[in-house]
Amino acid sequence: MKTLKKNFLDEEIILENEIVKLVPFNRYDALKLQSIIFDDSVWKYMGMFVKNRYDLENYIENTLELQGKDHYAFLIFDKQTNEFAGSTRFGNINFKSEKLEIGWTWYGKKFHRTGINHATKFELIRYCFENIGLRRVQFSADLENLASQKAILKLGAKQEGVFRNNYVDSTGKSKDDVYFSIIQEEWEYIKQTHFDKINQNNVQ
């Protein structure tokens, strides 16, 4: 059993493969997202909307406020286009139960269906199991967001169930989420079966 690494929240985590580079969320680079972030279709299932510069500033401030507490957010850099493509994070971190959730992920529309999400999630999941030493990584998607659910299943995660009225969105509407997970005992098999090409070409 790998010793649980609890101090990762204090570190500068940079994750990279041939497709993507993940860097810690920071104001300077987050402002570069302006060309892709003001798109309602991106935020449809996120529980909020970023429509203008004021919303962007709030999004950045809220993200930085949580950084290093029970969240660790990343900016996603697409190495194929040399552009920042979106953001993702570790959240709901529970050291006692040795688990966390990967989520809060969004990409500009031009980066959808490019393979960047699969490459991003590989680095995050690998870090959780091989660096932090967690026992469980979970994911969730809005019940209506079938595309995200399909993408999570492609990671090798198992669907567990629906959490009803799991959150309230910015309009005051209760939303249901579908939960998925990968556990430590499954990771080596999933790495070989679902991420074999990325794993073989990993630059680290």
Residue 156 carries which DSSP code? T
Give this prediction's pTM.
0.94
The residue to which tokens 């990671």 are assigned: 155
Residues composing the chain: 204
The residue to which tokens 């070409």 are assigned: 201
Q: Which domains does the chain have, with CATH numbers?
A: 7-200 (3.40.630.30)
Q: What is the pLDDT of residues 160-190, one digit of tens each?
A: 999 999 999 888 999 999 999 999 999 999 9
Q: What is the pLDDT of residues 142-157, one digit of tens each?
A: 999 999 999 999 999 9
In percent, the amount of the chain with pLDDT more than 90 equals 90
The residue to which tokens 């999630």 are assigned: 121
Q: What is the pLDDT of residue 97?
A: 96
d(CA 153, CA 130): 21
Q: Are strands 20-24 and 15-16 parallel, antiparallel or unpaired?
A: antiparallel
